[in-house]
Every structure is written in structure tokens, then in C-alpha cells.
């Protein structure tokens, strides 16, 4: 019999300015975005009392905690983006790695984080076992 898993997703956003180093185009100049963020966790065991994987409130609070450090900042002046490019790809990895230890005690693991600068384009980060 196949083993089932559940995936839960929460969405939020934050506003920040950034410039892409070494871009050779308009985005090398300082500009802002309302970044959209989608964080997905997964797990295989529901709580016995409420039959939930994890309360959405827990996930929303964890995501908010990470995004509060990025909201209304100049990302290029905010670690680690003072030394690495504040691209959507790097933002997704940063959010994933900072959110993972916040959700792990609740019996779930991070699946992915997606960051979008506009609705039509996004970058997704996930970690896979090799």
C-alpha cells in the first residue's frame, strides 16, 4: 500500500528594494518589488486530536518571522545579501533555510519556497537528497 504525505502551503509578501549586481541591465539600478512568497511543508502524520498535519497558524507565524527581517529593507544592505546577489533564487533559498528550523519541531519538513517579483515569474528552491 502506498505511503501518503500531505503538503500544506502558506502565502505572504514583503516589500523591499534591491539591485542586481553584475546584471548589465535596468535591474542593476536600485528598484523595489512587492515580493510574493509561497512556502510549502510536507509530512506524513496527522495529529491524533485535530487530525491536522500542522496548524496553518504555525506556518504563517514562521513565515512572518523570516519575512519580517526582509520587509521594507534595502536587501543589498541586509545580510546575507550584502555579499550575495538579492535575486529571487537567493531569496527563496534564504527563506527556506531560515524557515526550516522553525517548522521542524512541529513534525513537518520544508518542501519548497517560491519567490515572485511579479505574478508571471517566480523562482522555487527546494533541497533534495542525492
pLDDT confidence band for 49 (50 / 70 / 90): very high
pTM: 0.95
User: Of residues 38, 94, 111, 117, which has the active-site annotation?
Assistant: 117
User: Residue 103 and residue 106: Cα distance in Å, rounded?
Assistant: 5
Name, in order, each residue with C-beta under 8 angstroms of 92's C-beta and a sequence gap of 6 or more: 113, 114, 115, 123, 124, 125
Of the two residues 1 and 81, the one the predictor is more confident about is: 81
Q: Any known ligand binding at 98?
A: no
Mean pLDDT of the chain: 96
Q: Any known ligand binding at 94?
A: no
Q: Any known ligand binding at 31?
A: yes
CB 36, CB 11: distance < 8 Å: yes
User: Of residues 72, 77, 84, 127, which has the active-site annotation?
Assistant: 72
User: Can 72 be counted among the known catalytic residues?
Assistant: yes
User: Can 84 be counted among the known catalytic residues?
Assistant: no
Is the per-residue pLDDT at 15 higher than 90? yes
CATH architecture of 6-24+37-42+52-123: 2-Layer Sandwich (3.30)
User: Can 127 be counted among the known catalytic residues?
Assistant: no
pLDDT, tens digit (0-9, with 9 covering 90-100), for 72-116: 999 999 999 999 999 999 999 999 999 999 999 999 999 999 999
DSSP characters for 23-80? --SGGGS-EEEEEEEEEEEEES---TTT--SS-HHHHHHHHHHHHHTTTTEEGGGSTT
- For the chain, give every domain's residue range: 6-24+37-42+52-123
User: Of residues 27, 42, 73, 98, which has the active-site annotation?
Assistant: 27
Amino acid at each position: 500500500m502506498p505511503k501518503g504525505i500531505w503538503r500544506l502551503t502558506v502565502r505572504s509578501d514583503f516589500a523591499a528594494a534591491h539591485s542586481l549586481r553584475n546584471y548589465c541591465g535596468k535591474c542593476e539600478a536600485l528598484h523595489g518589488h512587492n515580493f510574493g512568497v509561497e512556502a510549502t511543508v510536507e509530512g506524513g502524520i496527522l495529529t491524533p486530536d485535530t487530525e491536522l498535519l500542522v496548524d496553518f497558524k504555525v506556518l504563517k507565524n514562521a513565515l512572518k518571522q523570516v519575512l519580517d527581517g526582509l520587509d521594507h529593507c534595502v536587501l543589498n544592505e541586509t545580510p546575507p545579501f550584502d555579499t550575495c546577489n538579492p535575486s529571487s533564487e537567493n531569496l527563496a533559498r534564504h527563506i527556506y533555510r531560515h524557515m526550516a528550523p522553525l517548522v521542524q519541531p512541529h513534525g513537518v519538513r520544508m518542501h519548497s519556497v517560491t519567490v515572485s517579483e511579479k505574478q508571471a515569474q517566480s523562482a522555487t528552491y527546494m533541497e533534495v537528497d542525492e
